[in-house]
């Protein structure tokens, strides 16, 4: 039966069922047989993963095809739940084998992960999780259905972004108020959804023997290497070191714009971005997708011939779908094809600086999966998100010295770099605000709506830009409602902050030892998921830490780069 052939159809239960039955009933009589068992399970998981990836890619590249959508949904609703049940059964089977103790060290993390999910598993939590999923789907539906009428036309909220970023202050103000009014119409229900989610999640945690959902979430997300106390330290360090930089950036904007105060439509509450102070139009780094590809290739070749070659392999492998066109889903992602061994990159490029950053970011993810593609088991390649984003975020920073490829005009190039570095700082503050909010909510699950608002505003005074929300106080106290992670992916957010700290250290090393920075990057990425998070950081010669001194020195580096630009 194993290895499964290239033509094995993992989208069909009829072909999967005999394979899973054989695995479940197989007798294992030695450590060698157990290793073969791991390898066969991985073989099957690779097929299932690639089948799901191809269906998802097919659907997002062609949203108008009802057939592709139906195929994907069929897979999600019928194959995935069955496979997760099977995987639970296989974990239980493995965990009870005596041979487990004799496995070589490279299985340690895989076994830790299996034991963890078995320890957390409670039958009575399944229906509660289903209810949580339903509530977060309701949130998505409510937000997705929001539209406003602006200048005689109907727009979705993501479409309103271009008016919110307009150089015309009056257009921004009008657009911002319209969007806020629309959001406030559903704010009552969204508040209730979060109430219900907190209650359900608290129950899930109690059922699994935890004091609160925060502690449960840390365990279920396999955060073995950092604690809530580390997160608090992270918040404090960002408050001390990032906020003065953010306030200075905004003070300069205030002078540049010539306003008497900054209003919420002048500075983006989340990213900290603002329109160009000099009223210049958007940057135009490339004309079309073929130019984006050739210029990105040149950037990577200038950074290193190895990375340039790896990027070209993606281009030749036809695993890029980059242009924005009708019938394509929004956003960008990188998806590993576990069987083929190639990553797929999806995005909607339309000629903006943000597209350059997305292309480079997703290429960084692709390099990571290419570097560790020789690791045998799928679990060995399933690296933690805190480190996956180091791979992508550090590429954004490491390529900066070569962004001139996209800009003939030196000032335009400086502007692109400045905007990117400012958003790195701005985003760290927003990440800490969202994270601190979640810690507090789940540690105090019986809080009132008023207390929630008050706590949010307290965090805003610690981590927010000093914009004046006079006249929009209720909007200000409910602005957390715009952050979808609070509903669908609780506690999942600080990972990006942790990864950014890693990326900044690799970038800092580049200025002293450019070759060393790249070889550390490679050495760490090749390890995939075979080392703990601190060991992966160490392999990249960077530190996993949150103290003020450490974060202060990274912020100083950004600040001096900003000054020199
Ligand atoms: Zn990413």
Ligand 1 mean position to 497 CA, how many Å? 12
Tell me, yes or no, whether 39 lies in a domain.
Answer: yes
pLDDT of 5 > 90? The answer is: yes
Ligand 1 mean position to 336 CA, how many Å? 13
Ligand 1 mean position to 343 CA, how many Å? 13
Tell me, yes or no, whether 98 lies in a domain.
Answer: yes
pLDDT tens for 432-441 read 999 999 999 9
Ligand 1 mean position to 388 CA, how many Å? 7
Judge contact between 97 and 28, C-beta under 8 A: yes
How many other C-beta atoms lie within 10 A of the C-beta of residue 511?
11
Instruction: State the pLDDT confidence band at 552, using cuts at 50, 70 and 90.
Output: very high
Ligand 1 mean position to 499 CA, how many Å? 10
How many other C-beta atoms lie within 10 A of the C-beta of residue 147?
14
Ligand 1 mean position to 257 CA, how many Å? 33
Ligand 1 mean position to 362 CA, how many Å? 6
Judge contact between 499 and 387, C-beta under 8 A: yes
Tell me, yes or no, whether 176 lies in a domain.
Answer: no
Distance CA 34, CA 22 (A): 14
SS3 323: strand
Judge contact between 363 and 308, C-beta under 8 A: no
Ligand 1 mean position to 396 CA, how many Å? 11
Ligand 1 mean position to 37 CA, how many Å? 32
How many other C-beta atoms lie within 10 A of the C-beta of residue 435?
26
Write down the residue that tokens 């329109």 correspond to: 275
Beta 147-150 vs 320-323: how paired, if at all?
unpaired
pLDDT tens for 229-244 read 999 999 999 999 999 9
Does the pTM of the predicted model rise above 0.75?
A: yes
Instruction: State the pLDDT confidence band at 102, using cuts at 50, 70 and 90.
Output: very high
Tell me, yes or no, whether 301 lies in a domain.
Answer: no
Instruction: State the pLDDT confidence band at 475, using cuts at 50, 70 and 90.
Output: very high
% of the chain surpassing 70 pLDDT: 100
pLDDT of 454 > 90? The answer is: yes
- Total of domains in the chain: 1
Determine if the peptide bond prior to 426 is cis (ω within 30°). Answer: no
Q: Between 32 and 140, where is the model more confident?
A: 32
Tell me, yes or no, whether 188 lies in a domain.
Answer: no
What integer pLDDT is reported at residue 343 of this predicted model?
Answer: 93
Ligand 1 mean position to 204 CA, how many Å? 29
Ligand 1 mean position to 365 CA, how many Å? 7
pLDDT of 159 > 90? The answer is: no
Ligand 1 mean position to 394 CA, how many Å? 11
Ligand 1 mean position to 564 CA, how many Å? 28
Ligand 1 mean position to 471 CA, how many Å? 37
Question: What does the buried/exposed string (b/e) look like for 347-360 if buried means 16 or more CB atoms within 10 Å of the residue's CB?
Answer: bbbebebbbbbbbb
Beta 342-349 vs 320-323: how paired, if at all?
parallel
Ligand 1 mean position to 530 CA, how many Å? 20
Ligand 1 mean position to 487 CA, how many Å? 20
How many other C-beta atoms lie within 10 A of the C-beta of residue 308?
17
- Cα Rg of the chain, angstroms: 24
Ligand 1 mean position to 496 CA, how many Å? 8
Ligand 1 mean position to 393 CA, how many Å? 7
Ligand 1 mean position to 511 CA, how many Å? 24
Ligand 1 mean position to 389 CA, how many Å? 5
For the CA atoms of 493, 495, 499, 501, the dihedral, rounded to the nearest 10 degrees, stands at 80
pLDDT of 18 > 90? The answer is: yes
- Find the mean pLDDT for residues 344-349: 92
Ligand 1 mean position to 256 CA, how many Å? 33
Q: At what angle do helices 410-443 and 187-207 cross, to 10 degrees?
A: 60
Distance CA 540, CA 391 (A): 10
Distance CA 111, CA 95 (A): 8
What integer pLDDT is reported at residue 517 of this predicted model?
Answer: 98
pLDDT of 555 > 90? The answer is: yes
What's the mean pLDDT when you consider all of the chain?
Answer: 95
Ligand 1 mean position to 428 CA, how many Å? 15
Q: Which of 396, 101, 103, 428 has its CA nearest to residue 239?
A: 428
What integer pLDDT is reported at residue 76 of this predicted model?
Answer: 86
The pair phi, psi for residue 425, each rounded to 5°, is -70, -45
Instruction: State the pLDDT confidence band at 253, using cuts at 50, 70 and 90.
Output: very high
pLDDT of 327 > 90? The answer is: no
Ligand 1 mean position to 289 CA, how many Å? 20
Judge contact between 267 and 274, C-beta under 8 A: yes
Instruction: State the pLDDT confidence band at 330, using cuts at 50, 70 and 90.
Output: confident
Tell me, yes or no, whether 563 lies in a domain.
Answer: no
Q: At what angle do helices 213-220 and 410-443 cross, to 10 degrees?
A: 130
Ligand 1 mean position to 127 CA, how many Å? 31
Ligand 1 mean position to 361 CA, how many Å? 6
pLDDT of 116 > 90? The answer is: yes
What integer pLDDT is reported at residue 329 of this predicted model?
Answer: 85
Ligand 1 mean position to 392 CA, how many Å? 6
Tell me, yes or no, whether 66 lies in a domain.
Answer: yes
Local structure of residue 79 (DSSP, 8 states): I
- Find the mean pLDDT for residues 249-253: 97
What integer pLDDT is reported at residue 325 of this predicted model?
Answer: 85
Q: Between 518 and 121, where is the model more confident?
A: 518
Report the length, in residues, of the chain: 565
Ligand 1 mean position to 84 CA, how many Å? 25
pLDDT of 538 > 90? The answer is: yes
Looking at 334-384, list the stretches that DSSP marks H as alpha helix, in order from N- to C-terminal side.
Answer: 353-371, 378-381
Tell me, yes or no, whether 366 lies in a domain.
Answer: no
Distance CA 455, CA 440 (A): 8
Query: 85 CB contacts (<8 Å, ≥6 apart)?
Result: none
Ligand 1 mean position to 359 CA, how many Å? 11
Ligand 1 mean position to 315 CA, how many Å? 19
Ligand 1 mean position to 516 CA, how many Å? 23
Instruction: State the pLDDT confidence band at 396, using cuts at 50, 70 and 90.
Output: very high
Q: Name the least confident of 200-214, 226-240, 315-329.
A: 315-329
Ligand 1 mean position to 344 CA, how many Å? 13
pLDDT of 89 > 90? The answer is: yes
Ligand 1 mean position to 297 CA, how many Å? 19
- Find the mean pLDDT for residues 173-177: 98
Give the side-chain half-sphere CA count within 13 A for 70.
Answer: 3
Q: Which of 6, 1, 3 has its CA nearest to residue 341?
A: 6
Find the domain containing 29 and state its range.
13-103
Sheet of strand 342-349, all strands in order from the earlier edge strand to the far edge? 320-323, 342-349, 333-337
Ligand 1 mean position to 424 CA, how many Å? 14
Query: 50 CB contacts (<8 Å, ≥6 apart)?
Result: 10, 337, 338, 339, 340
Q: Name the least confident of 172-176, 199-203, 227-231, 337-341.
A: 337-341
Question: What does the buried/exposed string (b/e) look like for 179-210 if buried means 16 or more CB atoms within 10 Å of the residue's CB?
Answer: bbeebeebeeebbebbbebbebbbbbbeebeb
Question: What does the buried/exposed string (b/e) look like for 84-117 if buried means 16 or more CB atoms within 10 Å of the residue's CB?
Answer: eebbeebbeebeebebeeebeeebebbbebbeee
How many other C-beta atoms lie within 10 A of the C-beta of residue 527?
18
Query: 434 CB contacts (<8 Å, ≥6 apart)?
Result: 480, 483, 485, 486, 493
Q: Which two tokens stand for residue 304?
A: 């290193």
Q: Which two tokens stand for residue 364?
A: 């960084």
Judge contact between 309 and 467, C-beta under 8 A: no
């Amino acid at each position: 039966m194993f290895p499964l052939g290239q033509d094995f159809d993992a989208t069909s239960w009829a072909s999967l069922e005999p394979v899973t039955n054989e695995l479940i009933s197989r007798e294992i009589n030695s450590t060698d047989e157990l290793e073969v068992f791991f390898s066969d399970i991985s073989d099957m998981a690779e097929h299932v993963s690639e089948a799901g990836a191809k269906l998802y890619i097919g659907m997002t590249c062609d949203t108008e095809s009802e057939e592709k959508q139906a195929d994907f949904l069929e897979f999600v609703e019928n194959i995935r739940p069955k496979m997760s049940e099977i995987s639970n059964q296989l974990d239980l089977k493995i965990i009870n084998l005596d041979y487990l103790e004799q496995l070589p060290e490279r299985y340690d993390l895989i076994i830790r992960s299996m034991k963890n999910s078995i320890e957390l598993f409670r039958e009575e939590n399944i229906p509660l999780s289903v209810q949580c999923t339903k509530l977060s789907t309701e949130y998505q539906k409510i937000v997705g259905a929001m539209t406003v009428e602006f200048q005689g036309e109907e727009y979705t909220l993501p479409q309103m972004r271009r008016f919110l970023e307009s150089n015309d202050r009056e257009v921004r103000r009008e657009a911002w108020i319209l969007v806020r009014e629309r959001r406030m119409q559903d704010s009552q229900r969204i508040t209730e959804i979060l109430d219900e989610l907190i209650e359900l999640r608290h129950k899930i945690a109690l059922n699994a023997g935890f004091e609160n959902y925060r502690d449960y979430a840390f365990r279920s997300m396999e955060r073995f290497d950092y604690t809530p106390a580390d997160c608090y330290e992270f918040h404090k360090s960002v408050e001390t070191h990032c906020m003065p930089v953010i306030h200075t950036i905004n003070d300069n904007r205030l002078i540049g714009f010539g306003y008497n105060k900054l209003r919420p439509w002048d500075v983006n509450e989340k990213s900290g971005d603002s329109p160009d102070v000099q009223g210049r139009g958007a940057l135009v780094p490339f004309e079309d997708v073929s130019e984006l590809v050739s210029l990105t290739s040149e950037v990577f070749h200038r950074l290193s011939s190895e990375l340039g070659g790896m990027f070209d392999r993606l281009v030749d492998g036809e695993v890029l779908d980059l242009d924005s066109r009708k019938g394509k889903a929004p956003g960008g992602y990188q998806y590993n094809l576990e069987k083929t061994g190639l990553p797929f990159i999806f995005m909607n490029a339309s000629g903006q600086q943000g597209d350059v950053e997305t292309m480079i970011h997703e290429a960084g993810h692709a390099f990571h999966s290419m570097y560790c593609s020789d690791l045998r088991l799928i679990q060995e390649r399933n690296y933690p998100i805190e480190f996956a984003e180091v791979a992508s975020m550090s590429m954004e920073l490491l390529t900066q010295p070569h962004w001139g490829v996209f800009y003939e005009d030196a000032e335009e190039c400086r502007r692109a770099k400045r905007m990117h570095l400012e958003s790195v700082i701005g985003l760290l503050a927003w990440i800490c605000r969202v994270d601190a909010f979640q810690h507090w909510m789940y540690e105090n699950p019986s809080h009132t709506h008023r207390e929630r608002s008050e706590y949010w505003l307290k965090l805003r005074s610690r981590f927010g830009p000093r914009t004046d929300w006079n006249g929009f106080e209720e909007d200000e106290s409910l602005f957390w409602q715009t952050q979808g992670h609070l509903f669908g992916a609780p506690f999942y957010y600080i990972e990006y902050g942790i990864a950014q700290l890693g990326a900044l250290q690799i970038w800092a090393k580049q200025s002293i030892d450019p070759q060393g920075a790249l070889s550390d990057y490679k050495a760490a990425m090749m390890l995939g998921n075979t080392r703990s998070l601190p060991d992966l950081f160490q392999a990249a010669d960077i530190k996993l830490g949150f103290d003020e001194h450490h974060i202060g020195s990274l912020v100083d580096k950004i600040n001096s780069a900003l000054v020199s630009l």
